[in-house]
Structure 1
Amino acid sequence: MPTSVWDATSLPQFSAIDVNSIEEDLTVILEKNRKTMAACVAQDAPLTWENFVLPLDQINDELGAFWSPISHLNSVKNNPELRDAYNACLPKLTQYYTEIGQNHGLYQGYKTLLNKAESEGYTQAQTEALVQEVRGFELSGVALEGTAKERYGEISQRLSELSSAFGEHVLDSTQAWSKLVTDESELSGLPESALAQAKQMAQAKEQEGWLFTLDFPSYMPVLNYADNQALREELYTAFATRASDNAPTGTEYDNAPLIDEILALRHEMAQLLGFSDYAALSVATKMADNGDQVIEFLNDLAVKGKPAAEQDLKQIQEFAQAEFGVGTLNAWDIGYYAEKLREHKFSISQESLRPYFPINKALSGLFHVAQTLFGIDIREETEFDSYHKDLQLFTISKDGSDVSRFYLDPYAREAKRGGAWMDECRVRRRLQNGQLQLPVAYLVCNFTPPIGDKPALLTHDEVTTLFHEFGHGLHHMLTQVEVAAVSGINGVAWDAVELPSQFMENWCYEPEALAYIAGHYETKASLPQDLLDKMLAAKNFQAGMQLMRQLEFSLFDFRLHKEYSAGISVQDLINEVRQDVSVFTPPSFNRFQNSFSHIFAGGYAAGYYSYKWAEVLSADAFSRFEEEGIFNQETGALFRDTVLANGGSRPAAELFAAFRGRAPSTDALLRHSGIAA
């Protein structure tokens, strides 16, 4: 069979993107694709994988190759011209995908192939792809007729617009606010790295003083370290009211009306498709059997975790009272006194660890872990088409042959969406000409950038984020599946997709691995034993409160979609969830939901619980390495060849059992979190 090759078309050519022609170019591609689909459906020859699935995969891939870099740039290098072009294309894309989902000819074609999959000797990956394609059509309204079909298309179109607008509002509201401080005495307590970054940001704006924004690397040091309570309150208030009617910059970016409309349309869509609610529709493609099982899972964790969270809060309150005479804690005080307590108990802070985690050392340590466990090599490329000076490109090889590539865009900057994520650039698949297309991934973070002549120095939390996103990348890049629909992360149940990412985080806490990950940026010295001991001792500091915070988000999301009815008060529901599971109630002006992009502008609607669901899997999977050695190459190869290699070609529960030898248990998660012995 022909070998795989890299060529000029295997990577995006960012510099070749012409904003003025995007919409026109997309129109041409979509019309060409429609003709190809019509020809596939109308052909007289008996349908086969080769004459039906592969041509459809090809046009899907060509569309992805065109749209992927545009969508990526819209997230990482946003500007008005690109945003306008992007938004002009969304209705065309939504209409196109709605047409596909309701195309009876395509649906019948996939069903025909599925019915003869066994007799034709299709592989498991081919069969599973057909199963998922058929299910996808049924969940996209292929059986709808008349006004119901028309209405489904209208809903899809509007939801696409609302999702994009929600994300833009969060970005714009975040960037609309900043705080310039000109008196350094107001910044006592802030670490040198935060001060240097704030001064560098002010200089970039040709301002004198220290400039703070709502981007996480700027915001969090103030909340955790600034002695100035008024400054903490001001930043907390601005952050907690982003994209809301309470925002200090005004109501222009208020997402509340968008949330109401999104929820109503999702509920209507679910009912059109025969589901009682959107949560039921969401769970139809996940590991969880039904919505009740999800609620039971979350409530069970809440019952087990709440006593630990209550104890965490009590410790902070007692410490603030005893050491600082502060009797009442506000939301903008919790992080500050928690950090003081961490330093008091463990003589350590995230800031004290920064010098030992320069990004290049953290990267080389990450690569060492992956290379040792999974038998791969990673090299950096220097010649490629880039959109920013900080962008890096790496190639992964195995047994002397290239298997994948990934971009790394590590630092926070203006016009870049917050958070961290991995996205697909190219998918691994077998082409019609027999060649193998190799996968390419985008890995995006928002780390604190380099300051002055120092390299970027990461907190340990940022190192963990790097490992997390690389875990997603490995899932995409080390797949051995050659069928696009179930290759890499494609076709993986959403509540299992976080398994590899959360799994990789564990090495950030293992002394044997930290020997490779950590090293002082000036002296190259290893992390001192006493600092390592303190870091590990502090690993589960406030773990109970962190668990309950994630359960709060998960229950809010799932109940919001499960219990939706016309006129539901989103604020009342999140207040009710907080009353049940939270140990500290935020102020009444808090509008967290208005910037909850995961569920209103991302893929986690009625699925945010997936983080905890998958964390059970990842903790249990890692427990095998605890038993057999964290660098055990046989165990690493088994994880690679079961979980990572198979993508969505086999059910996630089956792959987990193939690796672990049994069904998952919550014991390891509770033990790793320090919540259970």
Structure 2
Amino acid sequence: MTETKNPLLDLSDLIDYASVKPEHVAPAVDFWSAKLEAALAAATAPETPATWEAVVEPLENAVLDFSRAWGVVGHLQSVVDTPALRDAYNAALPKVTELFIRLSQDEALFAKYRAIEASPEFAALSAVRQRIVKREIRDFVLSGAALPAEKRERVMAIGQALSQTSQKFSENLLDATNAFELVIDDKAKLAGIPEETLALYEASAKAAGKSGWRITLQFPSYLPAMKYCEDRSIRETLYRAFSTRAAEFDGARFDNTPLMTEILKLRGEEASLLGFKNYAALSLETKMAESPEAVLTFLRDLARRAKPKAQADVEEVNEFARRELNLETVEPWDRPYASEKLRESRYSYSDAEVKRYFTEPTVFAGLFKLVETLFGIEINEAKASVWHPDVKYFEVKRNGEKIAAFYADLYAREGKRSGAWMDGERTRTIRAGRLVTPVAYLVCNFAAPVAGKPATLTHDEVTTLFHEFGHTLHHLLTAQTEAGVSGINGVEWDAVETPSQFLENFAWDREVVKSITSHVETGEPLPDALFEKMLAAKNFLAGAACVRQVEFALFDMLLHTSFSPDRDDIRALLADVRREVAVVFPPEYDRFPQSFAHIFAGGYAAGYYSYKWSEVLSCDCFEAFEETGIRNPETGRRFLTEILERGSSRDAMENFVAFRGRKPELGALLRLTGIVETTAAK
């Protein structure tokens, strides 16, 4: 009798995702841990020379293998979460966390890196390898490797606690989101909701073994109800459920409140041990921004510029709601509905009408055509083992040669984390003289196809897809072969959104829109007249959207600078931030922080401002395409060679200046988002 093969032990090529089971996790972690421990012991042995070939390369390969196998487990836990997989993941998490923290603090390894830097041979290393060694030494210091033993051990304990607490935050949010459903048995109560969405609700009810129409807090289910449902009480019920997720309500089954306090305390203590004034200062050590004060100045300046338009946006909605919808007071559950009605009234179209043109197969075909033109690549669907029947696999080629691949998991489902993201599955590097091509995950949460028709996307969802595909290209089109700087590895967090936000702009180009639209019934592309209406409405309520993002970013930065979890109240801080920059205020029961996974369970702690700063960079980059021709292949190749291919082999600012010929300016952002009508003076 032969044992079942463990697919997490075979990293020779693509992972056999369909065969991965929860019981494979522990043996794989043990196997790759042993490999990594052996590589660490060899690298740090006294007799091992302090050279790139003897220390960095073999250890890096062991880390890549371990990280890839564990990354597969983490990915599956995000997209096909089951109780058994969650248990297996959480059982292994402490061991994995302890190993990586210990690796980042290892005194002997730290000494080897410093010896490499101090050696006469260091000058002979390539500039990229010198950069990697210097950055590793910096990261050793930031991990506590230079601290006395007692403090170093405490930093390790904090890292383990943060890993587990953040994971629990994410699980609570997922469980709270999945726990709610609103089943409607009278279709008349759903008046105003498009037929495609009603079909989704009906299919959801059937899948849950119920009759009628089932609405959940998954975004493709929740948002259409908020925008189109004429029944105000249904909107209010949904809004309350959504805005109180993972809080003390509902018996506190999934309450993230104590976890937030614990996370902030741990981060503050870690920063103090490492000699930083606060966690934000620690976080910014590896980012473009010079200081927390510089970030706060940037955010407040942006809020000052955007707030007048934001206030005008809100008052327009309020006045329209009073005049046309008989809503004397626009409550938070009314705002999406009233805003959509105002858009329909002013621009004579609805998102639901537009959505019928953006059929998923056509959107993908047009998106691929665009990037093929700009970057000289070819993308084709291929066969591979996948973790869910809806997942597709694509290969990227240049001149007929495969250079990369990615998986696309596009539809919302229970057991899948909400939101949209890209993650690297495999890094471009050279192993044993052979080029290893990169692989990525592209994940969204669109509504799945129903009634035998292709899935349709709102234009907002199209821009989300373009955004995540920009991240995907950043990882896949790298020209680097040193893992530490390849793809998105090591890219400053406040610059990593640049390619993604850059690509969003193309979803507003007329020729691109023609190529990505095909009416779900007739196959016709989006009519020019409808596109002109969309273009006129492009920056509809853009001021309000901008200050909303600034609100999140300012809250995040203050939370990690001047806030004391022992003394201060998180809700009070958020209320102060809203009084300073917001134009819309939620009800008292709102518990937004409890679902702010970006900063409590993601990588954006003291870094949420990155979205707005990267938008400055991305809009400025796109302006170069406007100046030379939107789909100009020559400009596309420059963007490819100076930004996408570079990874983190240079500082992000150097990449930007190499492409743009100067440092970034705010004008393009203000113009493209409608904050001002003309570009700022150059």
Structures share fold, TM-score greater than 0.5: yes
Q: Is the 8 A contact 2:11 2:65 kept in 1?
A: no
1:250-649 to 2 correspondence within 5 Å?
250-382=251-383, 384-431=384-431, 433-565=432-564, 566-649=566-649
Cα distance between partner residues in 2 of 1:106 and 1:147:
18
Q: What's the CA shift string for 1:457-504, capped at 9, x where partnerless?
A: 111111111110010010000000111111110010000000000000
CA distance in 2, matches of 1:269, 1:45: 32
Per-residue CA deviation, residues 605-630 of structure 1 (Å, 9 max, x unaligned), is 00000000000000000000001001
Q: Which amino acid aligns with 2:485?
A: V
* Other-structure match for 1:240: 243
Task: Quote the offset at 1:117 in angstroms.
Answer: 8.0
* Alpha carbons of structure 1 residues 135 and 411: separation in structure 2 relative to 1, 3 Å: same
Which one of the candidate residues 29, 39, 44 is aligned to 2:42? 39
State the shift of 1:17 in Å: 2.3
Alignment of 1:112 with 2:111, yes or no, is no
Letter in structure 2 aligned against 1:364: A
Give the superposition deviation at 1:116: 4.4
Q: Secondary structure at the match of 2:634?
A: helix
Partner of 1:51: 54
Alignment-mate amino acid for residue 606 of structure 1? A
Question: What is the Cα deviation at residue 113 of structure 1?
Answer: 2.3
Once the two structures are overlaid, the 10-residue window that deviates more, 35-44 or 136-145, is 35-44
Give the alignment partner of residue 92 of structure 1, picking from 92, 95, 102.
95
Structure 2 partner of 1:72: 75
- Check the 8 A contact 2:17/2:387 in 1, yes or no: yes
Where does 1:20-35 land on structure 2 (aligned, <5 Å)?
A: 20-35=23-38
CA gap 1:119/1:142 in 2 versus in 1, 3 angstroms: closer
Residue 3 of structure 2: aligned partner: none
Post-superposition shift, 1:207? 1.0
Match of 1:133 in 2: 136
CA contact (8 A) 1:312 1:545 kept: yes
Give the whole-Å Cα distance in 2 for the aligned partners of 1:230 and 1:417.
Answer: 28
How far did residue 42 of structure 1 move?
A: 1.0
Residue type of the alignment partner of 2:427? V
The one-character-per-residue Cα deviations of 1:267-289 (angstroms, maximum 9, x if unpaired) are: 00000000010000011100001
Are the equivalent residues in 2 in contact too, given 1:354–1:460 (CA < 8 A)? yes
- What do residues 593-648 of structure 1 show as CA deviations (whole Å, max 9, x unaligned)? 00000000100000000000000000000000001001111100000001000101
- Amino acid corresponding to residue 604 of structure 1 in structure 2: Y
Amino acid at match of 1:406: F
What SS does structure 2 have at the residue aligned with 1:332? coil
Contact 2:21 2:85 (C-alpha < 8 Å) held by counterparts: no
SS at 2:333 equivalent: helix
Q: Does the CA contact (< 8 Å) of 2:116 and 2:122 recur in 1?
A: no
Whether contact under 8 Å (1:488, 1:645) holds in the other structure is yes
In structure 2, distance between residues paired with 1:257 and 1:575: 19
Distance 2:18 2:191 in 1: 44
Aligned residue identity for 2:63? N
Secondary structure class of the residue paired with 1:250: helix
C-alpha distance in 2, partners of 1:323/1:86?
53
Could you say what the CA RMSD is over the residues aligned between the two structures, in angstroms? Answer: 1.2
Q: Secondary structure at the match of 2:340?
A: helix
| Letter of the 2:505 counterpart | N
1:260-312 CA distance string (max 9 Å, x none): 00000000000000001000001110000111100000000000000000000
Partner SS for 1:97 = helix
Amino acid at match of 1:512: E
Q: Is the CA contact (8 Å cut-off) linking 2:317 and 2:342 kept in structure 1?
A: yes
Separation in 2 of the partners of 1:117 and 1:461?
A: 55
Tell me how far apart the structure 2 counterparts of residues 515 and 65 of structure 1 sit (CA, whole Å).
39
Q: Which moved more, 1:357-366 or 1:23-32?
A: 23-32
Distance, in Å, in 1 between the alignment partners of 2:65 and 2:535 is 48
- Separation in 2, partners of 1:291, 1:521: 48
CA distance in 2, matches of 1:67, 1:61: 10
Deviation at 1:48, TM superposition (A): 2.1
1:554-607 CA-partner distances (Å, limit 9, x unpaired): 000110011122222000000110111110110010000000000001000000
Q: Please name the residue that 2:173 is paired with.
A: 170
Supply the distance in 1 between the matched residues of 2:98 and 2:166 (Cα, whole angstroms): 15
User: Any idea what the Cα deviations from partners look like across 1:69-114, whole Å, max 9, x if unmatched?
Assistant: 1111100000000000000111001110111111111112222223
Q: TM-score, normalised by structure 2?
A: 0.96
CA contact (8 A) 2:122 2:130 kept: no
TM-score (norm 1): 0.97
CA distance in 2, matches of 1:400, 1:24: 39
Do the aligned residues in 2 keep the contact of 1:180 with 1:211 (CA within 8 Å)?
yes
Q: Tell me if structure 2 keeps the 8 A contact 1:132–1:491.
A: no
Letter in 1 for 2:550: L
Moved more, 600-609 or 566-575: 566-575
Change (3 A) 1:126 1:292: same
Report if the CA contact (8 A) 1:267-1:564 is conserved.
Answer: no
Structure 1 stretch 454-463 or stretch 114-123: which is displaced more? 114-123
Residue 6 (structure 2) aligns with: none
2:227 to 224, 228, 231: 224
> What SS does the aligned partner of 2:444 have?
strand
* Alignment partners' CA distance in 1, 2:304 and 2:477: 38
Instruction: For residue 32 of structure 1, report the CA deviation from its aligned partner.
Output: 2.6
Deviations 1:375-434 (CA, angstroms, capped at 9, x unpaired): 00011102x111111100001011221110000000001100000000010001121x11
**Structure 1 residues without counterparts, runs of 5 or longer:** 1-6
- Give, in whole Å, the separation in 1 of the partners of 2:216 and 2:422: 24
After TM superposition, give the deviation of residue 208 of structure 1 in Å.
1.0
Give 5+ residue unaligned stretches, structure 2. 1-9, 678-682
Q: Offset at 1:27?
A: 2.2
**Mapped partners of 2:49, 2:149: distance in 1:** 30
Count of equivalent residues: 667
Distance 1:578 1:480 in 2: 44
Determine helix, strand or coil for the equivalent of 1:379: strand
Confirm whether residue 660 of structure 1 aligns to residue 666 of structure 2. Answer: no
Match of 1:394, as an amino acid? F
In the TM superposition, residue 67 of structure 1 has moved relative to its aligned partner by: 1.1
Distance 1:588 1:468, change over 3 A: same
Q: 1:548 and 1:207 mapped to 2: Cα distance?
A: 41
1:650 aligns with 650
Q: Which amino acid aligns with 1:268?
A: E
The residue matched to 1:457 in structure 2 has which SS? coil
Tell me by how many angstroms 1:436 deviates: 1.1
Contact 2:50 2:113 in 1 (8 A): no
Q: Partners in 2 of 1:183 and 1:197 — Cα distance?
A: 16
**Residue 525 of structure 1 aligns to a residue in which SS?**
coil
| 8 Å Cα contact 1:125-1:481 kept in structure 2 | no
Q: d(CA) in 1 for partners of 2:359 and 2:423?
A: 25
Q: Answer whether contact 1:277 1:564 (CA < 8 A) is retained.
A: no
Cα distance, 1:226 vs structure 2: 0.6
Q: Which amino acid aligns with 1:393?
A: Y
Greater Cα offset, 644-653 or 140-149: 140-149
Q: Percent identity?
A: 46
TM-superposed deviation, 1:521: 2.6
SS in 1 for 2:606: coil
Alpha-carbon shift at residue 191 of structure 1 (Å): 1.0
**Residue identity in the other structure for 1:540:** N
- 8 Å CA contact 1:128, 1:486 repeated in 2: no
Counterpart Cα distance in 2 of 1:626 and 1:255: 45
Write the letter of the residue equivalent to 2:660: R
